[in-house]
Amino acid sequence: MPETQVGIVGAGPAGLMLGELLAAADVETVILEDRSRDYVESRVRAGVLEHGTVERMDALGLGSRMHRDGLVHHGIYLQFNGERHHIDFGEHTGGKSIMVYGQQEVVKDLVAARLAGQRDLNFEAKVSRITDFNGPLGEGMPTVHYSVSGLDKELNCQIVVGADGYHGVSRQMVSPGSMRTYSREYPYAWLGILAEVEPSTDELIYAFHDRGFAMHSLRSPSVSRLYLQVDPTDSIDAWSDERIWEELQVRLHAGGWSLKEGPVLEKGITPMRSFVTEPMRFGRLFLAGDAAHIVPPTGAKGLNLAVTDVVVLAAALIDYFRSGDQRGLDQYSDSCLKRIWQAQNFSTMMTTLLHLDGTDDQFGRRLQRARQQQVVNSRSAAKTLSENYVGLPLAEPNR
């Protein structure tokens, strides 16, 4: 049976980035991905990279396309019922910025690097089970069971990393008694479109409106990404392109500004949820990225958390394979969970600040308005938002 040091389930940002970080230290990995290369490279998702994520891409020598095609932003706009305010990250964080660069572009860069290095990357390889992962490191080998074109296969590894997203199989392998999960569902969803039109804004606009949240993001000088808060039970068929633009026009409207429209290239509805698994390690199985946690997208944290998980995990795995030192692996869950709960806190803050909760709670609505006023009128509130948005330092996520 083939054998490797680290078996990685999933070729999303978490799995692919882990593969690159480990390859740079000569740790051997095999990546198994359910979907085709084309599918993972064209899946439209996140768009905001924290400055630390940009630094990781650079450190791996993968920054050239990102610096050529990505858009550096030094702030965001927050808009409350037509009144637009600018939050200047540079001013509040000592000059830090974020990069607007589509997740699928990050995935393309990582896949290209892996294939150029002739390292093992298997598409259309669906993992069905992981066995023998319980127990101490070094005393037994987990087996990853997967299938390719209907043929059952197995891979033995010293360690397995489940980087297979929220709907993946890795977390399901853990007995419910060994893990606790914490979750929150929201009474709304996001309808996202990719449109072939020059962005109408230089930086992202997060807008609260009495009809619900709307957002204007960007992908390139000729492609815009926009979102609308919708009902979680809404069907995409109920939203014609015309209706989507009409609603975006109303919710994003601000005096002296207009929203350009163009052909809709893609549209879909995504539910919003918060979810955390504790711990993130089960013997010789480690979870990373969305497999272990989900944040609502309003804070732009999901992809960045996936990257910071694997940065911590890669350092610990390298120590282990170089010298047998297990301390980093023992601390993996605790050090990641601190950052994850900070990100949950920030994402919940941004989400509840900007969405209509759908109830008739007028007291709550007035509290929300007070929080909206505070974030644009108080320097300390704007500083907290900015520090969280650009990304907290890796070593001290909860100063």
**355 counts as catalytic:** no
Measured from the CB atom, is 159 or 169 closer to ligand RFL?
Answer: 169
Binding to ligand RFL, residues 296-325 (CB under 6 A): 297, 300-304, 306
- Total binding residues for ligand RFL by CB under 6 A? 36
Say what angle helices 362-377 and 327-354 make with each other, to 10 degrees. 110
> In this structure, what token pair is assigned to residue 251?
């919710």
Candidates 73, 225, 293, 355; binder of ligand PHB (CB under 6 A) is 225
Per CB under 6 A, the segment of 1-9, 11-19, 83-91, 297-305 that binds ligand PHB is 297-305
Among ligand PHB, ligand RFL, none, residue 190 binds (CB under 5-8 Å by kind): ligand RFL
* Contacts with ligand PHB, 147-186, as mask; x by CB under 6 A: ----------------------------------------
Candidates 6, 14, 337, 354; binder of ligand RFL (CB under 6 A) is 14
Q: Which one from 209, 216, 293, 301 is the annotated catalytic residue?
A: 301
Q: Which residue has the tokens 């259309």?
A: 124
Q: Is position 19 an interface residue for ligand RFL (rule: CB under 6 A)?
A: no
Q: Whose CA is closest to 190, among 2, 382, 354?
A: 354
Binding to ligand RFL, residues 51-80 (CB under 6 A): none
Measured from the CB atom, is 168 or 296 closer to ligand PHB?
Answer: 296
Chain center to CA of 54: 14
Per CB under 6 A, the segment of 8-16, 90-98, 237-245, 354-362 that binds ligand RFL is 8-16
Instruction: Kindly state the smallest distance separating residue 295's Cβ from ligand PHB, in Å.
Output: 10
Q: Is position 386 an interface residue for ligand PHB (rule: CB under 6 A)?
A: no
Binding to ligand PHB, residues 28-87 (CB under 6 A): 46-48
**166 counts as catalytic:** no
9 phi, psi to nearest 5 deg: -95, 115
> In this structure, what token pair is assigned to residue 338?
């601190």
Contacts of 229 (CB under 8 A, 6+ apart): 188, 189, 190, 191, 212, 213, 214, 355, 356
16: number of Cβ within 10 Å: 27
Q: Is the dihedral of CA 75, 55, 219, 236 positive or negative?
A: negative
**389 counts as catalytic:** yes
Contacts of 44 (CB under 8 A, 6+ apart): 102, 103, 104, 192, 194, 225, 266
390 phi, psi to nearest 5 deg: -75, -20
CA gap 62, 116 in Å, rounded: 12
Instruction: Kindly state the smallest distance separating residue 146's Cβ from ligand RFL, in Å.
Output: 7
CA gap 194, 157 in Å, rounded: 40
Give catalytic residues, as residue numbers. 73, 206, 297, 301, 389
Give me the residues that bind ligand RFL (CB under 6 A), please: 9-15, 32-35, 40, 45-48, 103, 126-127, 163-165, 168-169, 190, 192, 270, 289-290, 297, 300-304, 306
